[in-house]
Amino acid sequence: MSTTSSTESTERAVTIACDDDRPMVLPLHLKTYPHSQSAPLKPGKFPKAKINSCKRIMVQKGDDFVQVLIPKCKTPNYAYWLQKSKRGTLYGNLWRAVILTRGDGFKHGKQWDEWKITDVKCAVKEFEHEKLKNSKDSNEDPYKEIAAMQYIKNIVTEGKEEEEDVLERARQNRQRVLDSRVMLPLEAMKSTGTSKSIYLVMTYIEGGDLIDQMDRVEDYGFSEYDCRQYMSDILKGVECLHSAGICHRDLSAENVLVSKEGIAVIADFGMCLRIPYYRQKRCLIKDQHSCGKLYCTPPEVIEKLPFDGHATDIWALGPILFKMRTGGAVPWEKACWGYNLKFKYFLRGNWKEWVELLTRSKTSDDTVDPVGLYLRDNGFSVNTLSPQCLDLMRKICKFNPEKRLTVREIEQHPWWFQE
């Protein structure tokens, strides 16, 4: 019986693309993606989340009853009127809310005429207690999301004191969100009633996400000019996160919001990580399991390899750019060399074959391909994307993470300067 070394018996192999497009087999250990430290590390921990108490009550408004969140204190100066649930989330609901301030005849806040309606809106992400109890196997952690957002805000604000007045604080927070291109929290609260839900209060962004924006465009996808505007904002948000030592891990068109001013803002930090450093050098992160939208997940995460937090976020920018330009289509379903031919042809620059697969009307098992039909009906071709756009995507989505462009290199690419 033949013998093999212990290293050979424990290592798996992965096929990766070389610069000359020939695949080669390398062992899946740290040498596959060389880095500065001897071994990948666990992500760092965030400071404990600061969560205040609140109560959620029903207040009679005319013939109807409305839901109001009131911070728990002796004489609350403000409250949040939960107006409309915009959509369900993994743990509860995302509400559009309006800030209420205390009226002249305020007693306990249980009557509608005790409050004054303001023109300041906010978003309230609700984490229901029952759903939290059953979320042990989920990759998302609401407490970590709150802690991460509070940590980011502390860095963005440089630890400065906030305004005491809730309305000024909300307006100030909105401006900081638009300046940093990153969603920041107003406050976090936990209900002391029977529901025991957690509420994350954030700045309200009026335009929805990038998908909502695409639905409003009459033409087929955004123009490359509009793509550059949004991509510039996203890059600024990514740079803000990375400078704070944060890896988002779930960047996608669905997690980028657009304000009424047309500014793109990165949101949803349920899967983010604090990047580990050793001797002031960024380290690889131990496998945390696949996460986020599969089309935006890089190969090393799919293969359960140690990964670089910066390179992981950079990868997602390629599929986001493609989705914006095509009005919602994705360049591949899964970034795996041996699994997806679309991805394989893209890496090799075989544009004719790539377009043929993208625009086919049926899949390999003879079922209808709605994305292919959509692209074909809208006349998608290689010319839909400019040569500079294709070149940028290819350099962002390098199979080897160490060869991917950095934020600075992306900003200097010729794509930004074409007419």
Asked whether residue 23 is assigned to any structural domain, the reply reads no
Flag whether pLDDT at 11 surpasses 50: no
Average pLDDT over the chain, rounded to an integer: 86
Could you give the CA distance from residue 174 to residue 172 in angstroms, rounded to a whole number? 5
Flag whether pLDDT at 26 surpasses 90: no
Contact 114, 64 (CB under 8 A): no
Asked whether residue 6 is assigned to any structural domain, the reply reads no
Query: Quick one: 258 and 300 in the same domain?
Result: yes
Least confident of 164-168, 194-198, 248-252: 194-198
Grade residue 317 by pLDDT with cuts at 50, 70 and 90: very high
Asked whether residue 3 is assigned to any structural domain, the reply reads no
Condensed to tens digits (0 to 9), the pLDDT of residues 46-71 reads 999 999 999 999 998 888 899 999 99
Flag whether pLDDT at 2 surpasses 60: no
Flag whether pLDDT at 138 surpasses 80: no
Q: Which two tokens stand for residue 306?
A: 């140690």
Radius of gyration of the chain, Cα coordinates, nearest whole angstrom: 24
Could you give the CA distance from residue 383 to residue 325 in angstroms, rounded to a whole number? 12
Condensed to tens digits (0 to 9), the pLDDT of residues 347-405 reads 999 999 999 999 987 776 667 788 888 898 888 888 899 999 999 999 999 999 999 99
Query: Quick one: 133 and 216 in the same domain?
Result: no
Q: Which two tokens stand for residue 402?
A: 């160490």
Asked whether residue 47 is assigned to any structural domain, the reply reads no
pLDDT given at position 186: 96
Number of domains in the chain: 2
Query: Quick one: 217 and 199 in the same domain?
Result: no
Q: Which two tokens stand for residue 317?
A: 């920018």
Asked whether residue 33 is assigned to any structural domain, the reply reads no
Asked whether residue 42 is assigned to any structural domain, the reply reads no
Query: Quick one: 161 and 229 in the same domain?
Result: no
Query: Quick one: 90 and 186 in the same domain?
Result: yes
Query: What CATH number is associated with residue 272?
Result: 1.10.510.10
Range of the domain at 388: 210-417
pLDDT given at position 38: 54
The residue from 176, 203, 230 where one domain ends is: 203
Residue 198 CA from chain centroid, whole number: 21
Condensed to tens digits (0 to 9), the pLDDT of residues 81-119 reads 999 887 767 778 899 999 999 988 788 788 899 999 999
Tell me the pTM. 0.88
Query: Quick one: 218 and 342 in the same domain?
Result: yes
Could you give the CA distance from residue 48 to residue 50 in angstroms, rounded to a whole number? 6
Flag whether pLDDT at 19 surpasses 50: no
3-17, 35-49, 145-159: which is most confident? 145-159
The residue from 172, 203, 234 where one domain ends is: 203
Condensed to tens digits (0 to 9), the pLDDT of residues 249-269 reads 999 999 999 999 999 999 999
Higher-confidence position of 237 and 162: 237
Grade residue 141 by pLDDT with cuts at 50, 70 and 90: confident
pLDDT given at position 1: 42
Short-list 374, 381, 332, CA closest to 356: 381
Q: Which two tokens stand for residue 16?
A: 């990766």
Q: Quick one: what percent of the chain has pLDDT higher than 70?
A: 86
Residue with tokens 């899946």: 28
The residue from 203, 231, 246 where one domain ends is: 203
Q: Give mean pLDDT, residues 194-218.
A: 90
Higher-confidence position of 11 and 221: 221
pLDDT given at position 88: 66
Asked whether residue 24 is assigned to any structural domain, the reply reads no
Flag whether pLDDT at 289 surpasses 80: no
Asked whether residue 271 is assigned to any structural domain, the reply reads yes
pLDDT given at position 135: 65
Query: Quick one: 183 and 75 in the same domain?
Result: yes
Query: Quick one: 149 and 58 in the same domain?
Result: yes
pLDDT given at position 279: 86
Query: Quick one: 269 and 141 in the same domain?
Result: no
Q: Is 208 exposed, middle or buried (0-12, 13-18, 19+ CB in 10 A)?
A: middle
Contact 268, 256 (CB under 8 A): no
Query: Quick one: 177 and 259 in the same domain?
Result: no
Query: Quick one: 197 and 239 in the same domain?
Result: no
Query: Quick one: 193 and 286 in the same domain?
Result: no
pLDDT given at position 385: 92
pLDDT given at position 98: 97
Higher-confidence position of 85 and 77: 77
The full length of the chain comes to 419
Grade residue 31 by pLDDT with cuts at 50, 70 and 90: very low
